[in-house]
Amino acid sequence: MADRICSLSTSGMTSKQQIQCWIDALTDLCGKFDVDPLEASSLEGRINHTGVSRLKLCQIEVSQHRIAHTTSSSGLSDHPFVKILFQTYGVSYFEQDGRHIELTPGDCLAYDVSCPHTIVSPAFTRHEVVIVPKELLHERGFRFHKMSACKLSARTGTGRIAHDFVHAAFDEAAKLSPNSAAGVADTLIDLLLLPLREADTIVDCSGPEAMYVRAQFFIREHLRDPDLCIDQISAELGCSKRYLHMLFSERGTTVSDYIWQARLQNCRQELEMHAGKTITDVAFSWGFSSSSHFSRVFRKYFGVVPSSIHKAQHPSLPTAAR
C-alpha cells in the first residue's frame, strides 16, 4: 500500500523546541529553511503529510511565522522541488526574485523551492501543499531556467479541479497500492500543470517536449474511447504519425503501449477501489473491447490476473460480481 499519513505537532514543546521541530519537519519534506515566529512567544503548528508515489502531499496549519530559504543556508541541490501551495485560511506574503505576492484563501502558488524566497504569515494560516520533484516535470516540458513564481486561482476552473483532486488524493492515499499510487500521481501532476499551462508559465509552446506533453494529455482525455489510435492523435496535434512515433520511441515506448498501459493503470485502480463494478464493466469502460484480451495484457503487465485483484480487495463479493 501507499504511504500512511504522518502527523507532527509542536504542541506542548518549549519555544526553542517548536522552532527546531518545524525546521526539522521542513527539512525532511523539501529542504532546510530558517524559521522565525516573529513577535510571538511560541510556534504552534501541525503538519499531516503522506506520499503518493514520488509526490508529497501535506496539510499544514501554523501560527504567525516567517520561513526563509537563503543562498547561504544551503545549495540549490538540497531543494530540487517545485511546490504547489493552496492557501485555505489566513493571509501569507511570498517574496522571490524581488516579486511580492499576497496569498488569500482560494489562491494557488506554484514556485521553484530551490530559488531563495521567504513566506511571511502574520497570523494563523492553513494551506495544502504538493511537493513535486523537478525530474518528474522535466519530461513534461518543464522550463527550469524560465520558472518564476506563479499565482493562480483555485476558486474556479482548472485550479479548483486540481485542488479538489489534491484533497481527495490525500484522503485516499493510504488505501492505494503502489501501482494505483503511480497512476494517481501521474494524473495529479497533469492536473496541477493544467492551470500553469493556461498561464503559459513553465511549458515550452514549441518543440518536441511540448508536442509530447500535448500527446499525453490528449491520450489521457480520450482513454475511454475504444477507437483511440495514432491517426486520431496525429490529426488532433497536427503532426505526422512518423513524428508522433519518434516522440514516444525516444522515451522508450510506443504510442500503443502508452495507451494500453495507461488504461491498465486506471482499470487496476477501479478494481481496487470500486466494489460495485465487474471486471468486464471496468475493462470496457476504459476502452478495451474484449475481456479475454484485457485479462491477457493485464496479467502480462502486472503479473497477476484481474480477478485476483478484485477478489483481494472485495472478498465478500459473490463470484458472479467479479
- Read off the pLDDT of residues 209-242 as tens digits, 9 standing for 90 and up: 678 877 887 888 888 899 999 999 999 888 889 9
- Which grid cell sits at 19? 522552532
**Cβ proximity of 254 and 245 under 8 Å:** yes
Helices in the chain by DSSP H: which ranges? 15-30, 134-138, 157-172, 178-198, 208-221, 230-237, 241-249, 255-273, 279-285, 291-302, 306-313
Output the pLDDT for position 265: 86
- Read off the pLDDT of residues 83-140 as tens digits, 9 standing for 90 and up: 999 999 999 999 998 889 999 999 999 999 989 999 999 999 999 999 999 888 876 6
Output the pLDDT for position 316: 52
Average pLDDT estimate for 246-267: 90
Distance between CA atoms of 158 and 177, rounded to whole angstroms?
Answer: 27
Enter the pTM of the model.
0.66
Q: Sorting pLDDT into bands at 50, 70 and 90, what band is 74?
A: very low
CB atoms within 10 A of CB 139: 12
